[in-house]
Amino acid sequence: MTTELLQQVRVIDPVSGTDEIADVLIADGKIQAIASQISDISPDTQIRDCRGLVLGTGLVDLYSHSGEPGFEERETLVSFLQAAAAGGFTRVSILPDTSPAIDNPALVAQLQKKTRGQGDNSFSPSPTPPISPSPHLYTWGAVTLDVAGKQMTELADLAAASVVGFTDGLPLDNLGLVRRVLEYVQPLYKPVAFWPCDRQLMSNGVMREGADALRFGLPPVPASAETTAIASLLELVAATGNSQVHIMRVSTARSVELIAAAKANGLPITASTTWMHLLLDTKAVKSYDTSLHLDPPLGNASDVKALRAGVRSGVIDAIAIDHAPYTYEEKVQAFAEAPAGAIGFELALPLLWQHLVETGEFTALELWQALSSRPAQCLQQKMQAIAPHQSVELTLFAPQQTWKVDRKNLYTLSSNTPWFGQELLGRVVKIWL
């Protein structure tokens, strides 16, 4: 295996809470040494000048959508993993809303077998997609059969098949079923994730309620469609006890307040928002770009401010990508008719870095924690510190590298993003596993 020396790289370690310039020596799948300067190296060591580059723990995505099985024209498992690797992710988790849905152990085993042996050393993005993408793929097991929200799956069987947790990734309207799920998962010691949304309050809305929704003439979604569902869920969590609950896709300021109060009262919950909800608000929808049709919809400016503060404080534990690929034909419709979702693996880190870290609103360490160590904790996993003798799980990022978001530079099969055709600053150079 290649021995590599990364000279004068900025090492961001969210586990130890450090941000420093150092030399890092990597060999045999492990970090051999970290020092202010390393000169004692073998003659065959590959030396890389990393001044201006960032080395951090691998990024972890809590939930995203794979086209395969069922919608391979949107995304295959291979392209899904390639896109994740190109974005710096070393662990990714797919939602069960595939076709067929991931609601039985046989399909979990089939997906694991298909992705096994995809390569576990390293991947460097290049103009040609790599043969062996390397991120670890985890699967969420469906809470209900065919994610239809009516009949609970055999949760114990799915747990035995090594799903990372349970979710439908869709709103569950039956609170009696939600309560039973919370009771059933307690002895399984795996998280259960809910997207709180009252579909009756949401109705046919596609944009956050407010002045911009009126101005753009789009059906509104009141913030209460999310907050009432969160309040109900929190009451059930308090009533049932020790279930580890994750609240997905938090998008309103009031939701942050409810979650903060619940955590202060000791409820066993974690929460996440998506990367696009941290960057954009309702004013962006004036373009009517269907890649901005999201579920939940983009928030108002006050929501974005509260979400950013929630991530920094830890009330919102993690930033999720919620990568949702769709074909051109599916997205080239009227805004309200197009399916909700956008791609994100290859764009999230560069855009978050430029808009949050370069502006000084977040420290680099705060952003990396929300994209790496804290999402791992939400999945009840651990991220190792960047230290000698530890196995490598690292991402090397060039914050000032310019690239254009177009088909020849994207590894995902889809291109539904409002940044398509634009030049961005920041790109992942390499990941190690």
Catalytic residues: 322
Cα 154 from Cα 160, distance rounded (Å): 10
Burial of 123 (0-12, 13-18, 19+ CB in 10 A): buried
Closest CA to 246 of 270, 228, 225: 270
Phi, psi (5° rounding) for residue 179?
Answer: -60, -45
For 171, half-sphere exposure in the C-beta direction (CA atoms, 13 angstrom radius) is 19
Is 370 strand, coil or helix? Answer: helix
Burial of 61 (0-12, 13-18, 19+ CB in 10 A): buried
Cα 131 from Cα 78, distance rounded (Å): 9
Return the structure tokens found at 216: 């753009």
Buried/exposed code over 184-196 (b: 16+ C-beta within 10 A; e: otherwise):
bbeebebbbbbbb
Cα 175 from Cα 305, distance rounded (Å): 31
Cα 300 from Cα 280, distance rounded (Å): 9
Question: Helices H, strands E: what count in the chain?
Answer: 14, 18
Is 357 strand, coil or helix? Answer: helix
Phi, psi (5° rounding) for residue 158?
Answer: -65, -40
Question: Under a CB-based contact definition with an 8 Å cutoff, are residues 326 and 341 in contact?
Answer: yes
